[in-house]
Amino acid sequence: MPAPIRLRELIRTIRTARTQAEEREMIQKECAAIRSSFREEDNTYRCRNVAKLLYMHMLGYPAHFGQLECLKLIASQKFTDKRIGYLGAMLLLDERQDVHLLMTNCIKNDLNHSTQYVQGLALCTLGCMGSSEMCRDLAGEVEKLLKTSNSYLRKKAALCAVHVIRKVPELMEMFLPATKNLLSEKNHGVLHTSVVLLTEMCERSPDMLAHFRKNEKLVPQLVRILKNLIMSGYSPEHDVSGISDPFLQVRILRLLRILGKSDDDSSEAMNDILAQVATNTETSKNVGNAILYETVLTIMDIKSESGLRVLAINILGRFLLNNDKNIRYVALTSLLKTVQTDHNAVQRHRSTIVDCLKDLDVSIKRRAMELSFALVNGNNIRGMMKELLYFLDSCDPEFKADCASGVFLAAEKYAPSKRWHIDTIMRVLTTAGSYVRDDSVPNLIQLITNSVEMHAYTVQRLYKALLDDISQQPLVQVASWCIGEYGDLLVSGQCEEEEPIQVTEDEVLDVLEGLLVSNLSTPVTRGYSLTAIMKLSTRFSSVNRIKKVVSIYGSSIDVELQQRAVEYNALFKKYDHMRPALLERMPIMEKSASNGPTEIVQTNGETEPSVVEPKHLPPVTQPVNQANDLLDLLGGNDVVPVIQTTMPTKPASAGGELLDLLGDLSLSAIPPMTAYNKNGLKIDFTFERANPNPNIAVITIHASNSTEADMTDFVFQAAVPKTFQLQLLSPSSNVVPALNQGTVTQVIRVLNPQKQQLRMRIKLTYTLKGSPVQDLAEVNNFPPQSWQ
Amino acid sequence: MNYLFQIRFILIQNRAGKTRLAKWYMQFDDDEKQKLIEEVHAVVTVRDSVSYALSVLFSQFRNFKIIYRRYAGLYFCICVDVTDNNLAYLEGIHNFVEVLNEYFHNVCELDLVFNFYKVYTVVDEMFLAGEIRETSQTKVLKQLLMLQSLE
């Protein structure tokens, strides 16, 4: 058989292949030749063949049939064989093949070889891909080599030990004695690897960490070494751009970080040297910056004194001004991590950070944006917002959503004035309107509702924005809601803040109808505008036009629109007397943090319709449940229907107490009572006190039905004397099942600031076996604890 | 394992995506390796003009970072943990390239192709077990010449 071709030849031949197919053909031919050569057990050319195989493996072709051959090469006596063999082992074998265990013996022999290079090869292979079993077997040999005087081997042994510890953490103890003198080495390479070994041990085991801190006095030793590095002059071997052995410095700093973390003594011992490194290192090249960066990380992690921390943040600030993008990026990331703890220090670099918003690189812009939002506070809100809005205008779409949300959050927390807040929101909606998140629409609506004095200004600006552009859905939705609510302010030209525009009712309706028919509007938007048009029927005089629009949409293909239109039509026809009340101004909404199904609406003295069925609520996505009105029945008045009386105006503070949604209801020992028991319907009251306000009594009614038939359309109403305030939450259901199979519960909250005796009149309506039943009763037997 | 402050792999790729050297310090399946190589290639060629360190999430549980530098037509990439010091590893890459340059006398891509096993030797002299081992260029070169004489 002719001698197999040399490696060089093969590589050259393969490179001449012009197509993938040609290459594959050559390789297959060669593989076949190599396979037959292996079968012949030819020692002379094995090395060459395996080398060729490795090259083909690197190109991506399977080469596993060469694994055993690698082992044979390792067992050979020739250095070249061993070298290729180990390389092949590292490339082709890994832990999952059982074959690799066969290597263990070879490696063991080689670790004791007379030539250091062979020993080195063995250490290297073990260190790169040794499995746990191999490590266990060979750990002793590695430990022996750690103590040898040959520095070349000691370096390799140290890192090999690191690998062993990673694979088999229990063996860490074994290497402990060898580490005793590691740091007194002069040889930088050994020093470097020793530090790595010590780092690994300290990271893995807190016991080791404590041991090294106390017994070995590691910190002073490291400090000394670091000092020598900085102070000593020019050392040509390990010098990089004028700094002696930066790699070693970085590793020492990292080890110091681990040693100093949450340990006061160690942190103190290293304060000086850290300050020294921070101030003396040259920053003109990347090398110096690498060391400074590691120093900053260390300072941030240990318990350093505040002066040092300020120094670290200033270094980061300087990084931000550096031309190199890498350094700026690294600085921004670190600042983001520290902005919570060292807020003031970071604030000083605010202007630089804001400048980074204009950087060309995407990652830097993102970091700068996050950091800017973290830095916004009451003092700098105006300036920062200007920059951030400018950024919003010009940034990539991927940022716009996050930026918009960030702007809203910041504006909500720190807005200096309502007008500024509204202006900011307008700006965001008009520039990035289509990227705004869905949940911000209801939040914005609530915000606008709550700024009562700005209604005219807001609706005017929104109207003008709509005239310009109707493609951005969130903007359109908010605008149509506002026009629906405050359209009367719009046409009456009442705006104080800016020049009022002259607009007629028809023009407004034109715009809203335009939204309905436009292709740009989503179904949700169409729903908003239809309801807005409907609301205007009580605010505008051109009711007929509105009636026509609404009736057209009664046959719309969109089911949602159709349902709305049909219901509104019904409003016009059958329930016209209810229409003005239903379409009244929305009251101020309380932003509730809880996500319970019921939310309380604070009434602030305005007339408020209360409707039992939730279907006619305006289409705000927050579910709103109206509180039942209070009727002062104890003045001897007749029973009055549920809707339509003015609520006695209470001072705002008393109203606020009622809305203590988040007050936890702690049980106190108030006994329950039966309030009503007639005709099979029994109503029990149970009591709780609403903390923290002891003036509020929370009563839960439990209605049960002992008759044979269900009671449907069950409605419970209550009224209290003038000095009390009462709030009724929604019932669990309005069917009381028969034969006591279940209860309907409803929560009543009673505010009793004057601590008078609690009395209540209740009215019950339900349908039993097809006929409606109604009853009134007085409840006087409240236990004294409930109102004292 | 909470912290793996080590190098996960070292890659040398050319602009076309051909791997000139792949040294793995962690367990990966063959197809995982292939996927990683492709992902690295996709990422480094996009940001060609800036020598950069960036964060990449390879799969949902592994949070890696690639630090790379382009020298002529080759990308030298080191994959480390997200919390590692970018700048230090950039220096490491540069150190490595300088040694290659010295050893091969103005190294070019073809040198790396025809002498791939020697390149692995250089890597093994400078890195071991996922850590930087020897940083003194003179020492490394001396060792390499000794090894060469044994051949």
Chain CA centroid to CA B49, Å = 19
Q: Given an 8 Å threshold on Cβ–Cβ distance, is A294 in contact with B116? A: no
Chain centre distance of CA A647: 44
DSSP state of A692: S
**Which of the four pLDDT bands, split at 50, 70 and 90, describes residue B63?**
low
Give the ipTM of the model, two decimals please.
0.79
Give A 25-44 residues with CB within 8 A of chain B.
Answer: none
B129 touches B106 (CB < 8 A): no
> Helix, strand or coil for residue A119?
helix
pLDDT at A591: 60
Nearest to B116 among A55, A127, A159 (CB): A55
Look up residue A113 and give its DSSP letter.
-
Three-state secondary structure call for residue A1 = coil
Whole-angstrom distance, CA of residue A725 vs CA of residue A647:
10
- Looking at the complex, does the CB of residue B45 fall below 8 Å from at least one CB of chain A? no
Question: What residues of chain B, 92 to 151, have a C-beta less than 8 Å from chain A?
Answer: 92, 95, 113-114, 116-117, 120-121, 124, 128-136, 138-139, 143, 146-147, 150-151
Question: Torsion-angle region of residue A367: left (phi > 0), alpha (psi -120 to 50) or beta?
Answer: alpha
* DSSP type of residue A625: B
What pLDDT score was predicted for residue A592?
Answer: 54
- Dihedral sign for Cα B54, B59, B64, B70, please: negative
Alpha helices by DSSP H, A305-396: 306-320, 325-338, 343-347, 350-356, 362-375, 381-394
Six token digits for residue B66: 């690639």
How many Å apart are CA A157 and CA A52, to the nearest integer? 30
* Contact residues, chain B, for A55 at CB < 8 Å: 116
Contact B128 A159 (CB under 8 A): yes
Q: Which two tokens stand for residue A783?
A: 């236990």
Given this model, what pLDDT does residue A105 score? 84
Task: Provide the chain B residues 56-75 that lie in CB contact (below 8 A) with chain A.
Answer: none
CB < 8 Å from A in window 4-43 of B: 5-6, 18-23, 25, 27, 34
CB proximity B86 to A under 8 Å: yes
Is B129 close to A160, i.e. CB distance below 8 A? yes
What residues of chain A lie within 8 A of the CB of B91, using their CB? Answer: 240, 246-247, 286-287, 290
Is the separation of the CB atoms in A663 and A650 below 8 Å? Answer: no
**Nearest-by-CA chain B residue for A203:** B3
The predicted structure's pLDDT at residue A235: 65
**Structural contact between residues B35 and B11, judged by C-beta atoms closer than 8 angstroms:** no
Nearest to B150 among A79, A203, A363 (CB): A79
Q: What is the pLDDT of residue A83?
A: 87
Q: Which positions ≥6 away from A737 have C-beta within 8 Å?
A: A705, A710
Of B19, B34, B124, the CB nearest to A58: B19
Number of Cβ within 10 Å of residue B24's Cβ equals 21
Q: Cα-flanking dihedrals φ and ψ of residue A58, to 5°? A: -65, -30
Q: Do A325 and B129 touch (CB under 8 A)?
A: no
Q: How many residues does chain B have?
A: 151
Spatial contact of A155 and A190, defined as CB atoms under 8 Å apart: yes
Measured in degrees and rounded to the nearest 5, phi and psi for residue A602 equal -80, 130
**Nearest-Cα residue of chain B relative to residue A53:** B117
- Contact (Cβ atoms closer than 8 angstroms) between residue A64 and residue A92: yes
* pLDDT (0 to 100) of residue B48: 52
Query: Cis omega before residue A692 (within 30°)?
Result: yes
The H or E element spanning position A111 is helix A103-111
Residue B80: phi and psi, rounded to 5, are: -130, 180
Q: Do B52 and A79 touch (CB under 8 A)?
A: no
Q: Which residues pair with A686 in a beta bridge?
A: A700
Nearest to A770, CA basis, from A704, A717, A708, A711: A711
pLDDT averaged per 10 residues in sequence order, chain A, 788 residues: 78 86 88 86 83 86 84 85 86 75 84 85 85 85 85 86 86 81 78 85 82 76 81 69 81 85 79 84 81 86 82 86 80 83 82 82 82 83 84 82 84 81 82 78 81 80 82 84 83 73 81 83 85 84 83 84 87 80 75 40 36 37 34 36 35 38 45 81 78 72 84 84 80 82 83 78 84 84 73
DSSP states of B90-102 as a string? Answer: HHHHHHHHHHHHH
Task: Determine how many CB atoms are found less than 10 A away from the CB of residue A676.
Answer: 20
Residue in A250, A254, A291 to test binding to B, most B beta-carbons within 10 Å: A250
Nearest 10 degrees: Cα torsion A216, A218, A223, A224: 40
Decide: helix, strand or coil at residue B131.
Answer: strand
CA angle (A779 as vertex; A774, A781 as ends), nearest 5: 150
Q: Which A positions 122-161 lie with beta carbon below 8 A of chain B?
A: 123-124, 127-128, 152, 155-156, 159-160
**pLDDT at residue number A184:** 77
B88 and A290 within 8 Å at the Cβ level: the answer is: yes
Listed residue (A678, A690, A698) closest to A763, CA to CA: A678
- Chain B residues within 8 A of A90 when measuring between CB atoms: 120
Q: Which of B87, B128, B147 is nearest residue A326 as measured by Cβ atoms?
A: B87
pLDDT of residue A57: 86
Cβ neighbors of A174 (< 8 A, separation 6 or more) are A139, A140, A143
Neighbours of A79 (CB within 10 A): 16
Alpha-carbon separation of residue A398 from A362, A394, A420, A505, B61 (angstroms): 10, 12, 26, 40, 24
* Residue pointed to by tokens 């036009």: A545
Question: Which residues are within 8 A (CB) of A418 and not within 5 positions of it... i.e. 6 or more apart?
Answer: A451, A453, A454
State the best of B51, B117, B146 to mutate against chain A, taking most chain A CBs within 10 Å. B117
